[in-house]
Structure 1
Amino acid sequence: MAKDTFLNRKTTLNIGGGLLDLRTPHVMAILNITPDSFYAASRTASIEEAMKKTAAFLEAGATIIDIGAYSSRPGAADITEQEELDRIVPVVEALVKAFPEAVLSIDTFRPPVAKATVEAGAHIINDISGGTLDDRMFETVAALNVPYILMHMKGSPQTMHIEPHYDDVVLEVVDYFSKKVAALRRLGVKDIILDPGFGFAKNRDHSYELLNHLEDLKIFGLSLLVGFSRKSMISKFLKVEPADALNGTTVLNTIALQKGASILRVHDVRAALECIKLVERTQRR
């Protein structure tokens, strides 16, 4: 563990043989190929719409496009593996052809979906379950030799919102990451990004406690991804709809950047990029 501490933090990802430098934070844009994502404006119904959104995301400054075909909102309906594949693979193929410069991340917990999309040209696997919903995922990512976003979650999208309990949410998340990172390292996975999973199997208090201690996760020497965008920890606290939660999202993104976040996963790329630029300016010496 000595070489992977905050004193020697890993700041690059191997993306198809090239290096993505995370010393400057990046924006990950959310592309939902789903009819039921919690934020209605993010739902994408066709390849043509996905192409238009991706073009706009890249023009606004996004580096990574995170594509998901399985809604992970609390209580979301389950879909079959084949339906997920049918939704996502054609979109990945189209985006790889149209935007070869884009880094494509795949939001899935299913190993066959991970394999099919990487073979279609995707670069990163973003697993909300941290391998808990399919124990083949770690071996699959190791074999694919792609970066892996390891998120903390308990239960499933169908059950995670039902009275989540922690004796100490920060210690439990740290313990979870410690065990999972060790398992991934044993399999030879080189590039790991940690995502605390704000709002996933966590009530509002749990999520804000994690944000307050986000810098504690630097102990792993790995890059951090945060995803607050328009979530209920903002909208319900402020008593607004997700459509009106951009300002709150920007506030939490600012705090996370000050605490060491390297990737902001968002619906609103331009606002996130402006946030990064302003935080960087305040930290310039």
Structure 2
Amino acid sequence: MAAAEAVPFVAPPVKEFSTSLPTSLPPSNVATPLPVEHRGQTPLDPRRLTKSPLLRLPPELRTLIYAYLTPAQTISYPLGPNTAISALSHRPPPRALLLTCRLLACEALDHFYRVARFRIMLNPPAPLADPHFQRLAHLPQLRRIRNLGVLLDWDLPKVPSYARDAGAAGFEFGLEAGVPFFRHVMDRGRCADMMRLAKRLVGVLDAARELRGLCVSWTDLVEGYWDEKKAVLEVLVGALSARGVKIVRGDIIASNEKEAQKLFDGWEVAAEGRK
């Protein structure tokens, strides 16, 4: 029997992969996630930038395009449910634009942070995912926030879950029964919690070096304690105004609006659509 002839091995052709970023993405029903800033970026070199037709447009026209792509649209928890950022006023730039080239990405993000307002709600009994603002302190977006809205929510509809778990269920019964003692204890504790949160937030905002504006809103169903409430307000705005941050007043909803309004005497009111 004749020996079988050896078949020479032929290597498969090597497939070449492109290393360039895509210039477009397929449409998606999922909202564009908030862009994450990259630390340690080197300065832009115009000679190494991807050439995009948009770069041939005047800067004013590009700004109009960025405004069209980042419309005013309230987004709840844009960074996920585990952060203290409860709302965002504008839609972030689409990912396809950010991947076009670095210069366009920088311009689009600069426009976005200039017009967008991030919102934080101070409400101790609420199930805050970030009760001590630890995640907020490490967000890369924090250092670029320019406009911030803070809602001081004094509403106390029922005993918070942590108090109930600690054996304070009787307080809830006392509140529902209208016993003044129980309301007094819970309201005073609320003021202390709000002061603690306000001090912590002010400390975290030290990293927000580009912060230019603060809009303070107010929701209040707690009767009295105006001195304590004023102290919380002064802690929140005192350090920021000393940094040159512009402080304005947002919406005020209170059972005693006359007294609540007195806390904001002399404040500039936020323009409609910027609250």
Give the TM interval when normalised to the shorter protein.
0.3 to 0.5
TM-score, normalised via structure 2 length: 0.36
Please tell me whether Structure 1 or Structure 2 has the larger radius of gyration of its CA atoms: 2
Structure (1/2) with the larger helix percentage: 1
